[in-house]
Amino acid sequence: MSNHVNITSETGRLETVIIHTPGREVENMTPESAKRALYSDILNLDVAIKEYEQFKGVLNKVAKTYEVKDLLQNILFDESVKSGLLDEIYKEEKLGEQHRFLYSLNTEELTRQLLEGVLVHKNNLTNFLSKERYSLPPLHNFFFTRDAAMAIHDRVLIGEMANKVRNRESLIMKAIFRNHPDVKSETIAPLECMTCMDDVTIEGGDVLVASENILLIGIGARTTTQGVDYILSRMKERKVSRHIVIQELPDMPESFIHLDMTFTFLDNNQCMVYEPLILKPNKYQTVRISIEDGEVTQIRNEINIIDCLRKLGMDMNPILCGGKNDQWIQEREQWHSGANFFAFAPGKVIGYERNVYTMEAMNKNGYEIIRAKDVINGKIDPFDYNKCVVTIGGSELARGGGGARCMTMPVRRKSID
């Protein structure tokens, strides 16, 4: 198998990335179904797409960009892949015979319905009286492509989602990575683990590849301790030597959904942090797990992520989400993904322009603030700067509960010396 995957850092020069432009699945939501879809509010799709086009336009300038929709449609031309994926979806979502028609759809229409949802067929009394609009719900969250699959070194770990409404995302990403020639890779899928308990959950927003030998993993509402133990078991099988730094996260508020909502890497020696959780004393533990040849040699508490990384040879200068003067401002900007940046090269990142105090803190730390549209139209080349933040609109996208890192699934980065 050719090695399409190489992720050994969070900041190495981006070469290949998978994204999913939000479509009708985002609009196929009511206030009543929003909570079940893991949203606190419904989004205006027209505005969200305009903001997303800025994000996508910047990525197209700096890397090879693939769309989930295109990758999925391409693999569904293979009848065995198509039937295999549908068989898994049938089993996972407990579909009945009324859904057999999916097997006969052409690839374009099947792709659309797998993403946007399958309407209830009003062909019997139960369905006629049903208050549900969809028998196979839309994938409202799929534009946050980070969670359903995560590249770690030369393999792809398929997400085991905390909320079953998102499991189809994982099945689709698994099918893509196992079958599409452009990204075909070895995959590890907890959902195929026959001995794993139901409490094994792992989502990509909680997994950060700090370096060749250091992983950061958040545990909380979306990733469990059992999920981390699953990763340890796979490392034992492969006799891996590595350090895993664990950060406990609050279950509430929902803006603490993943570690990358409180901590992201910006450069080889800089990171963005939400100070109250990451740096100030609190009840949420930081734990280091040391592994040698697959065996856990030590588990110990650490003061915080920054102190732990320094002990492991990574000196990181933290920049504070919302600035350093006012915790109220820090809370507001963290809520709108102010700590969630995506690096496309060392010191070159994408983030929401709305978080003005965070941007001010970045600027004070040497980051030039540049607008996405100036990068897209060629007026500005981000690689002309030593360090920069490319800002995108975030009035609507941020209300979905994630930022630039959430909306990317990097496949290849250049290694950092």
pLDDT of residue 81: 97
Supply 231's token pair: 């990763």
Supply 107's token pair: 């690839």
**214 touches 242 (CB < 8 A):** yes
Question: Which DSSP string corresponds to 369-392?
Answer: EEEHHHHHTTS--GGGSSSEEEEE
Name the pTM for this structure: 0.94
pLDDT of residue 34: 54
- Report the 10 Å Cβ neighbour count for 103: 13
The one-character DSSP state at 160 is B
pLDDT in tens, 209-224: 999 999 999 999 999 9
- State how far the Cα of 338 lies from the Cα of 356, in Å rounded to an integer: 9
pLDDT in tens, 264-306: 999 999 999 999 999 998 999 999 999 999 999 999 999 999 9
pLDDT of residue 192: 82
The one-character DSSP state at 311 is H
In this prediction, the residues of the chain whose per-residue pLDDT falls under 50 are 1-2, 38
Helices assigned H by DSSP within 76-194: 79-93, 107-116, 125-129, 167-179
Label residue 293 left, alpha or beta by phi (over 0 means left) and psi (-120 to 50 means alpha).
Answer: left
What integer best gives the mean pLDDT of the chain? Answer: 91
The structural domains of the chain, with segments of one domain joined by +, span 14-413
pLDDT of residue 126: 67
Taking the CA of residue 413 as centre, how many other CA atoms within 13 Å lie in the half-sphere pointing to its CB?
Answer: 26
Helix (H) or strand (E) holding 364: helix 356-364
- State how far the Cα of 173 lies from the Cα of 171, in Å rounded to an integer: 6
- Which residue type occupies 338? G
pLDDT of residue 1: 42
**212 touches 313 (CB < 8 A):** no
Cα 189 from chain centre: 16
**256 touches 277 (CB < 8 A):** yes
- Report the 10 Å Cβ neighbour count for 240: 17
Closest CA to 96 of 126, 140, 61: 126
The CATH-assigned architecture of domain 14-413 is: 5-stranded Propeller (3.75)
**246 touches 219 (CB < 8 A):** yes
Q: At 62, is the secondary structure helix, strand, or coil?
A: helix
